[in-house]
Amino acid sequence: PSYSLYARPGKISHFKKVARKLSPIIRMKVSSLTKKLRQKKVFVWLKRKLSLAQKKRIEALGLKGMGFVEESKRFYPQGELASSLLGFAGVDNQGLAGVELSYNSELQGEAGHFWIREDALGYEIPFAKDTLQALVPGKNLVLTLDNVIQSMVEQELSLTLKKTKAKSVEALFMDPQTGEILALANKPDYDPNYYSNYSPFTRKNRVVQSLYEPGSSFKSFTASALLQEGLTDLNEKIYCGESVRVANHLFHDWKNFDRDLSVTEIFEIPQTLE
Protein backbone atom coordinates (compact mmCIF):
# COMPACT_ATOMS: atom_id res chain seq x y z
CA PRO A 1 0.00 0.00 0.00
CA SER A 2 0.87 3.67 -0.25
CA TYR A 3 -0.16 6.60 1.92
CA SER A 4 -1.58 9.88 0.66
CA LEU A 5 -1.14 12.95 2.84
CA TYR A 6 -3.96 15.45 3.23
CA ALA A 7 -4.39 18.63 5.26
CA ARG A 8 -7.29 20.46 6.87
CA PRO A 9 -6.17 24.11 6.45
CA GLY A 10 -8.67 25.35 9.04
CA LYS A 11 -6.86 23.43 11.77
CA ILE A 12 -3.38 24.76 10.87
CA SER A 13 -2.02 28.00 12.37
CA HIS A 14 1.43 28.49 10.82
CA PHE A 15 1.34 27.48 7.17
CA LYS A 16 4.92 28.33 6.25
CA LYS A 17 6.35 26.65 9.34
CA VAL A 18 4.46 23.45 8.54
CA ALA A 19 5.52 23.65 4.88
CA ARG A 20 9.20 23.92 5.85
CA LYS A 21 8.97 20.77 7.96
CA LEU A 22 7.16 18.76 5.28
CA SER A 23 9.18 19.96 2.28
CA PRO A 24 12.27 17.70 2.60
CA ILE A 25 10.18 14.63 3.40
CA ILE A 26 7.69 14.79 0.54
CA ARG A 27 10.08 16.55 -1.87
CA MET A 28 7.95 19.58 -2.60
CA LYS A 29 8.90 23.24 -2.64
CA VAL A 30 8.02 25.24 0.47
CA SER A 31 6.24 27.81 -1.71
CA SER A 32 4.07 25.14 -3.37
CA LEU A 33 3.13 23.59 -0.04
CA THR A 34 2.35 26.96 1.52
CA LYS A 35 0.09 27.81 -1.41
CA LYS A 36 -1.83 24.57 -0.94
CA LEU A 37 -2.17 25.07 2.80
CA ARG A 38 -3.52 28.60 2.35
CA GLN A 39 -6.44 27.40 0.24
CA LYS A 40 -9.79 28.13 1.79
CA LYS A 41 -10.92 24.53 1.68
CA VAL A 42 -11.90 21.98 4.30
CA PHE A 43 -9.74 19.27 2.69
CA VAL A 44 -6.57 19.53 0.56
CA TRP A 45 -4.37 16.81 -0.89
CA LEU A 46 -0.70 17.59 -0.22
CA LYS A 47 1.05 14.54 -1.70
CA ARG A 48 -0.26 11.25 -3.04
CA LYS A 49 1.33 7.80 -2.90
CA LEU A 50 3.93 8.26 -0.15
CA SER A 51 5.94 5.35 1.25
CA LEU A 52 5.55 3.92 4.77
CA ALA A 53 8.91 5.45 5.72
CA GLN A 54 7.73 8.92 4.65
CA LYS A 55 4.48 8.44 6.56
CA LYS A 56 6.33 7.58 9.78
CA ARG A 57 8.65 10.60 9.44
CA ILE A 58 5.66 12.93 9.05
CA GLU A 59 3.78 11.38 11.97
CA ALA A 60 6.88 11.87 14.13
CA LEU A 61 6.58 15.63 13.55
CA GLY A 62 3.29 15.69 15.47
CA LEU A 63 1.68 18.25 13.14
CA LYS A 64 -1.97 19.17 13.66
CA GLY A 65 -4.46 19.17 10.82
CA MET A 66 -2.72 16.36 8.93
CA GLY A 67 -3.93 12.90 8.03
CA PHE A 68 -3.31 9.95 5.73
CA VAL A 69 -5.46 7.83 3.46
CA GLU A 70 -4.14 4.36 2.70
CA GLU A 71 -4.34 3.66 -1.03
CA SER A 72 -3.35 0.91 -3.40
CA LYS A 73 -0.51 1.58 -5.80
CA ARG A 74 0.21 -0.15 -9.09
CA PHE A 75 3.60 -1.87 -8.89
CA TYR A 76 5.52 -3.47 -11.75
CA PRO A 77 7.76 -6.18 -10.22
CA GLN A 78 9.67 -6.85 -13.46
CA GLY A 79 10.53 -3.22 -14.05
CA GLU A 80 11.45 -2.50 -17.66
CA LEU A 81 10.36 -5.88 -19.05
CA ALA A 82 7.71 -5.29 -21.75
CA SER A 83 7.17 -1.78 -20.38
CA SER A 84 6.41 -0.20 -23.76
CA LEU A 85 3.59 -2.69 -24.26
CA LEU A 86 2.22 -2.80 -20.71
CA GLY A 87 2.28 0.99 -20.26
CA PHE A 88 1.67 2.51 -16.84
CA ALA A 89 -1.02 3.80 -14.50
CA GLY A 90 -1.32 7.25 -12.92
CA VAL A 91 -1.71 8.39 -9.35
CA ASP A 92 -5.35 7.23 -9.23
CA ASN A 93 -4.43 3.89 -10.86
CA GLN A 94 -5.97 5.02 -14.13
CA GLY A 95 -4.29 3.67 -17.27
CA LEU A 96 -2.22 6.32 -19.05
CA ALA A 97 -0.41 4.27 -21.71
CA GLY A 98 -0.16 0.85 -23.32
CA VAL A 99 -2.35 -2.06 -22.24
CA GLU A 100 -3.08 -0.19 -19.00
CA LEU A 101 -4.83 2.51 -21.05
CA SER A 102 -6.45 0.27 -23.68
CA TYR A 103 -8.06 -1.99 -21.07
CA ASN A 104 -8.48 0.60 -18.33
CA SER A 105 -12.24 0.11 -17.93
CA GLU A 106 -11.83 -3.66 -17.46
CA LEU A 107 -8.81 -3.43 -15.14
CA GLN A 108 -10.04 -0.57 -12.96
CA GLY A 109 -13.33 -1.97 -11.72
CA GLU A 110 -15.87 0.28 -9.97
CA ALA A 111 -15.33 2.54 -6.97
CA GLY A 112 -17.16 1.92 -3.72
CA HIS A 113 -18.89 4.52 -1.51
CA PHE A 114 -18.63 4.68 2.28
CA TRP A 115 -19.71 6.77 5.26
CA ILE A 116 -16.74 7.68 7.45
CA ARG A 117 -17.14 9.05 10.98
CA GLU A 118 -14.60 11.50 12.39
CA ASP A 119 -13.71 12.69 15.87
CA ALA A 120 -13.61 16.33 17.01
CA LEU A 121 -10.11 16.77 15.54
CA GLY A 122 -11.17 15.53 12.12
CA TYR A 123 -9.55 12.09 12.29
CA GLU A 124 -11.33 8.95 11.15
CA ILE A 125 -12.88 6.87 13.95
CA PRO A 126 -11.66 3.25 13.61
CA PHE A 127 -14.23 0.55 12.82
CA ALA A 128 -16.98 3.11 12.20
CA LYS A 129 -17.17 2.88 8.41
CA ASP A 130 -20.52 2.09 6.74
CA THR A 131 -20.64 0.73 3.20
CA LEU A 132 -23.10 2.49 0.89
CA GLN A 133 -21.95 0.78 -2.29
CA ALA A 134 -19.43 -2.05 -2.34
CA LEU A 135 -16.47 -1.65 -4.64
CA VAL A 136 -16.15 -3.97 -7.64
CA PRO A 137 -12.61 -5.29 -8.20
CA GLY A 138 -11.10 -4.97 -11.66
CA LYS A 139 -10.75 -7.97 -13.95
CA ASN A 140 -7.55 -9.88 -14.64
CA LEU A 141 -5.97 -9.67 -18.08
CA VAL A 142 -3.81 -12.47 -19.51
CA LEU A 143 -1.46 -11.59 -22.38
CA THR A 144 0.07 -13.90 -24.99
CA LEU A 145 3.59 -12.63 -24.26
CA ASP A 146 6.20 -15.26 -23.50
CA ASN A 147 8.40 -13.95 -20.68
CA VAL A 148 11.42 -15.99 -21.78
CA ILE A 149 11.23 -14.83 -25.41
CA GLN A 150 10.50 -11.26 -24.32
CA SER A 151 13.52 -11.22 -22.03
CA MET A 152 15.82 -12.66 -24.72
CA VAL A 153 14.60 -10.15 -27.31
CA GLU A 154 15.15 -7.22 -24.96
CA GLN A 155 18.67 -8.39 -24.15
CA GLU A 156 19.52 -8.62 -27.85
CA LEU A 157 18.02 -5.20 -28.55
CA SER A 158 20.05 -3.65 -25.73
CA LEU A 159 23.24 -5.10 -27.22
CA THR A 160 22.25 -3.90 -30.70
CA LEU A 161 21.45 -0.41 -29.45
CA LYS A 162 24.84 -0.17 -27.76
CA LYS A 163 26.70 -1.63 -30.74
CA THR A 164 25.06 0.46 -33.47
CA LYS A 165 24.50 3.61 -31.39
CA ALA A 166 21.12 3.90 -33.08
CA LYS A 167 18.44 6.27 -31.84
CA SER A 168 16.17 3.31 -31.16
CA VAL A 169 15.69 -0.35 -32.04
CA GLU A 170 12.46 -2.33 -32.07
CA ALA A 171 11.35 -5.94 -32.50
CA LEU A 172 8.07 -7.83 -32.80
CA PHE A 173 7.70 -11.61 -32.59
CA MET A 174 4.37 -13.13 -33.65
CA ASP A 175 3.03 -16.67 -33.97
CA PRO A 176 2.14 -16.83 -37.71
CA GLN A 177 -0.45 -19.54 -37.10
CA THR A 178 -2.49 -17.71 -34.44
CA GLY A 179 -1.41 -14.08 -34.69
CA GLU A 180 -0.47 -14.10 -30.99
CA ILE A 181 2.18 -11.57 -29.96
CA LEU A 182 5.00 -13.48 -28.24
CA ALA A 183 7.35 -10.55 -27.76
CA LEU A 184 7.26 -6.83 -28.45
CA ALA A 185 10.16 -4.64 -27.41
CA ASN A 186 11.61 -1.17 -27.81
CA LYS A 187 15.02 0.08 -26.75
CA PRO A 188 15.53 2.44 -25.08
CA ASP A 189 12.60 1.73 -22.79
CA TYR A 190 11.68 2.65 -19.20
CA ASP A 191 10.69 1.46 -15.75
CA PRO A 192 6.91 2.06 -15.39
CA ASN A 193 7.30 2.40 -11.62
CA TYR A 194 9.08 5.71 -12.31
CA TYR A 195 7.57 6.66 -15.68
CA SER A 196 7.65 10.41 -15.00
CA ASN A 197 11.46 10.29 -15.03
CA TYR A 198 11.52 9.38 -18.73
CA SER A 199 10.91 11.35 -21.93
CA PRO A 200 7.78 10.83 -24.08
CA PHE A 201 9.96 9.31 -26.81
CA THR A 202 11.37 6.69 -24.44
CA ARG A 203 7.88 5.80 -23.15
CA LYS A 204 6.44 5.51 -26.67
CA ASN A 205 5.65 2.08 -28.09
CA ARG A 206 7.45 2.79 -31.36
CA VAL A 207 6.59 -0.61 -32.85
CA VAL A 208 2.94 0.37 -33.22
CA GLN A 209 2.92 4.16 -32.75
CA SER A 210 5.62 5.21 -35.23
CA LEU A 211 5.41 5.42 -39.04
CA TYR A 212 7.68 3.22 -41.13
CA GLU A 213 8.20 2.76 -44.87
CA PRO A 214 6.57 -0.52 -46.01
CA GLY A 215 9.85 -1.48 -47.72
CA SER A 216 10.19 -5.08 -48.91
CA SER A 217 6.79 -6.08 -47.54
CA PHE A 218 5.26 -4.52 -50.67
CA LYS A 219 7.21 -6.89 -52.94
CA SER A 220 4.61 -9.58 -52.29
CA PHE A 221 1.76 -7.37 -53.56
CA THR A 222 3.57 -6.39 -56.76
CA ALA A 223 4.84 -9.91 -57.47
CA SER A 224 1.43 -11.49 -56.76
CA ALA A 225 -0.25 -9.22 -59.31
CA LEU A 226 2.42 -9.91 -61.96
CA LEU A 227 2.31 -13.67 -61.38
CA GLN A 228 -1.49 -13.75 -61.45
CA GLU A 229 -1.55 -11.91 -64.78
CA GLY A 230 1.14 -14.16 -66.21
CA LEU A 231 3.51 -11.24 -66.78
CA THR A 232 6.44 -12.92 -65.03
CA ASP A 233 7.54 -16.13 -63.30
CA LEU A 234 9.81 -16.86 -60.35
CA ASN A 235 12.79 -17.63 -62.57
CA GLU A 236 12.68 -14.54 -64.79
CA LYS A 237 15.83 -12.43 -64.56
CA ILE A 238 15.47 -8.69 -63.97
CA TYR A 239 18.36 -6.25 -64.05
CA CYS A 240 18.87 -4.45 -60.73
CA GLY A 241 21.11 -1.38 -60.81
CA GLU A 242 21.54 1.45 -58.35
CA SER A 243 18.55 3.57 -59.42
CA VAL A 244 15.31 3.67 -61.37
CA ARG A 245 13.57 6.63 -62.99
CA VAL A 246 9.79 7.07 -62.69
CA ALA A 247 8.52 10.08 -64.67
CA ASN A 248 10.76 12.97 -63.59
CA HIS A 249 11.94 11.35 -60.35
CA LEU A 250 15.11 9.31 -59.88
CA PHE A 251 14.96 6.78 -57.02
CA HIS A 252 18.19 5.32 -55.64
CA ASP A 253 18.61 1.87 -54.11
CA TRP A 254 20.62 1.48 -50.91
CA LYS A 255 23.16 -0.62 -52.88
CA ASN A 256 24.25 -0.87 -56.51
CA PHE A 257 23.64 -4.56 -57.32
CA ASP A 258 24.50 -4.12 -61.03
CA ARG A 259 23.39 -7.61 -62.04
CA ASP A 260 20.41 -9.68 -63.06
CA LEU A 261 18.33 -11.15 -60.24
CA SER A 262 15.50 -13.67 -60.48
CA VAL A 263 12.12 -12.84 -58.98
CA THR A 264 12.89 -15.35 -56.21
CA GLU A 265 16.23 -13.66 -55.47
CA ILE A 266 14.55 -10.25 -55.38
CA PHE A 267 12.36 -11.57 -52.57
CA GLU A 268 15.42 -12.78 -50.69
CA ILE A 269 17.55 -9.64 -51.00
CA PRO A 270 16.49 -6.42 -49.20
CA GLN A 271 16.11 -3.48 -51.57
CA THR A 272 14.96 0.02 -50.70
CA LEU A 273 14.50 2.79 -53.25
CA GLU A 274 14.64 6.34 -51.95
Which residues are the active-site residues?
216
Q: How far apart are CA 181 and CA 173, in angstroms?
A: 6
DSSP lists the bridge partners of residue 113 as 133
Neighbours of 72 (CB within 10 A): 9
| Alpha-carbon dihedral sign for residues 8, 9, 12, 18 | positive
Q: How far apart are CA 116 and CA 129, in angstroms?
A: 5
Respond yes or no on whether the N-terminal peptide bond of residue 188 is cis (omega within 30° of 0): yes
Q: How far apart are CA 131 and CA 110, in angstroms?
A: 14
Residue 47 backbone dihedrals phi, psi, to 5 degrees: -160, 130
Neighbours of 240 (CB within 10 A): 18
With 0-12 CB in 10 A as exposed, 13-18 as middle and 19+ as buried, what is 182?
middle
Cβ atoms 138, 170 nearer than 8 A: no
Q: Residue 33: CB partners within 8 Å, gap ≥ 6?
A: 18, 19, 22, 23, 26, 46
Give the H/E segment covering residue 36. Answer: helix 30-37
